Amino acid sequence: MSTFWSVWISVIVLGSILGCAWLILATRKGERFKDSTEETTGHSFDGIEEYDNPMPMWWLKLFWLTIIFGIIYLIIYPGLGTFKGVAGWTSHGQWSDEIVAADQKYAPLYAELAAQDPEQLMNDEEALGIGQRLFANNCSVCHGSGGRGNVGFPNLTDDEWLYGGSHEKILETLLNGRQALMPAWQDALGAEGITQVAHYVRSLSGQKNVDETLAQAGAAKFQQNCVVCHGANGEGNEAFGAPSLSDSIWLYGGTQNIVEMTLRYGRKGRMPNFEEVLGEDRLYVLAAYVKSLSQQK
């Protein structure tokens, strides 16, 4: 915060507090704390007149108390521009204290769970409940609350995996994150080549509305350019996170338009890593939960 804004805020805050105090003093009646008078303010409406009585004592005292409270608060806590307050409190400090306390409290619980077999965790209601809460807080923004995914974000409830569906592979995904690289083919294949290959790709998954001639021309180009990553029959390759093209599950979509778009510009799906955010023990439990999603019938 620049000095100008710091001073600006301090002046407004202190000015308002002092202004309130001034208002109380300035409107004080001459005869202090008298209970009531017969004087009126002169306002009258429908024959009802307004008495000119002083504020009730309890109300005034409360008002003074809030003013004193406000000033003490501003001395102890940050509130006046860049002044940090004598207590040295920060929201970030409180947050990290709470994190440390929570970690100390829950670490043994997670360590105990992480010592178990994944199979065991997948049959343990309590562990799955913990996994579900971790998932809701950290993963559902991208993968959906039920883990069903969305365009570009894989569905975790089917048993088709980009990088492998063993507990070990899922844990690896969570610990390190994943960065997919599907190259762009615009320059190498040209518009015509892309149309041909897209027809061929769609034929791999048994789509009916495919032009046979175009698909055949595309097959050769596929063998040349795509099999390294996607396999000779488009079965995919977990080492590259290259999806199977021979099933009807699509990460980005399987219409002619979308497949052409994928080919033209490439795709770079990124799964963030969570080792630092959640730690290995939590991720171990979470990986068991994710695996359990794909095995629900």
Of 138 and 203, the one with the shorter C-beta distance to ligand HEC is 138
Positions in the binding site for ligand HEC (CB under 6 A): 135, 138-139, 141-143, 152-154, 156, 161-163, 170, 173-174, 178, 180-183, 185, 197, 201, 222, 225-226, 228-230, 240-243, 245, 250-253, 259, 262-263, 267-272, 274, 286, 290
Smallest gap, in angstroms, from Cβ of residue 86 to ligand HEC? 40
Of 148 and 178, the one with the shorter C-beta distance to ligand HEC is 178
3-class SS string, the chain:
CCHHHHHHHHHHHHHHHHHHHHHHHHCCCCCCCCCCCCCEEEEEECCEEEECCCCCHHHHHHHHHHHHHHHHHHHHCCCCCCCCCCCCCCHHHHHHHHHHHHHHHHHHHHHHHHCCCHHHHHCCHHHHHHHHHHHHHHCHHHHCCCCCCECCECCCCCCCCCCCCCHHHHHHHHHHCEECCECCCHHHHHHHHHHHHHHHHHHHCCCCCCCHHHHHHHHHHHHHHCHHHHCCCCCCECCCCECCCCCCCCCCCCCHHHHHHHHHHCECCEECCCHHHHCHHHHHHHHHHHHHHCCCC
Nearest-CB residue for ligand HEC: 269
Smallest gap, in angstroms, from Cβ of residue 96 to ligand HEC? 21
Of 21 and 184, the one with the shorter C-beta distance to ligand HEC is 184
Smallest gap, in angstroms, from Cβ of residue 211 to ligand HEC? 16
Smallest gap, in angstroms, from Cβ of residue 28 to ligand HEC? 60
Of 52 and 124, the one with the shorter C-beta distance to ligand HEC is 124
Smallest gap, in angstroms, from Cβ of residue 100 to ligand HEC? 21
Of 113 and 271, the one with the shorter C-beta distance to ligand HEC is 271
